[in-house]
Amino acid sequence: MTMAGEADGLQAFICTTCGTQFAPSLSPPGTCPICADPRQYVGLEGQQWITLDELRRTSHNVIEQEEPGVYSIHTKPDFAIGQRALLVRTPKGNVLWDCLALLDTPTIDAIWELGGIAAVAISHPHYYTTMVEWSTTFDNAPIYLHEADRKCVMRPHSNIRFWSGGGMAVFENLFLIHTPGHFDGFQVLHWPSGADGRGVLFSGDQPQVCMDTRWVSFMYSYPNFIPLSVSTVNSIVGALEPFSFDRIYGAFPKRTIRTGAKEAVNRSAERYIRACNSPVSKMADAGPGRIK
């Protein structure tokens, strides 16, 4: 399997810290603007690059069914940020939610067996990765990104469909919701048929499902520990309020709230705002097992 442009000596280089693939060039870019941004970081060893063919020699993807109609895809060993992608199967076609840098023959074959990919939608630029490779491999599936993050696309392509406004239907049963905060164009995916009809939210990094999966949180930068403002968190919760969902699939493997997800979002937002507005000595949660 050969990347586009290799025959001309061009390579679509991938940043090893965030997984973003850049437009084909003769040599790697000087820096990765996605990592130079305050929401990310350049690795301690400095800017490093890899090609997709090199990544295929060292890594593989694991595909697991999460529930009827949902499959997670995760690279082993972890590469770059380490997120999972999720394939959502619907009668109108399959949607790839978020994306991974690694796309190899076993992954392609497995996804074709599941019906291919009819559309790609990605929460925010940290997970754009090799989205163009995925799109062109699967019959030029359109890639839906919010217009507010256009400047963050490092490999432009005609298959990218920018949209604007507060929401957009991918298919009649899948809906993108604009929830700016972590990025200006951040979007989540709502699937009302998921979780046995109780509704599913695919949230990426916002709301971020915590290690304690009873809770979510909200950050401008996770690696650099920069919080979002109270007003922004209120805006995110307000944008999600009209939608019913009992389950949230977060960005990382096993970061799933299986039930009670909407209540967890509201409860977590209240805790976040209380922490922002209260002295440290008064902000601790007083629930069972908590230090008081």
* pLDDT tens over the chain, length 292 residues: 444 445 578 999 999 999 999 999 999 999 999 999 999 999 999 999 999 999 999 999 999 999 999 999 999 999 999 999 999 999 999 999 999 999 999 999 999 999 999 999 999 999 999 999 999 999 999 999 999 999 999 999 999 999 999 999 999 899 999 999 999 999 999 999 999 999 999 999 999 999 999 999 999 999 999 999 999 999 999 999 999 999 999 999 999 999 999 999 999 999 999 999 987 645 455 444 443 3
Report d(CA 114, CA 71) in Å as an integer: 9
Q: At what angle do helices 230-240 and 261-277 cross, to 10 degrees?
A: 170
Identify the bridge partners of residue 143 per DSSP, sorted by sequence position.
120, 160
The DSSP code for 11 is B
List all residues 6 or more positions away from 76 whose beta carbon is below 8 Å from its beta carbon.
59, 60, 61, 62
Rg value, the chain, Cα? 19
Identify the bridge partners of residue 14 per DSSP, sorted by sequence position.
21, 50
Assign domain 54-277 to its CATH superfamily: Ribonuclease Z/Hydroxyacylglutathione hydrolase-like (3.60.15.10)
User: Which three-class secondary structure state does DSSP give residue 162?
Assistant: strand
User: Which three-class secondary structure state does DSSP give residue 117?
Assistant: coil
Q: Which residue has the tokens 């997670």?
A: 72
Report d(CA 129, CA 126) in Å as an integer: 7
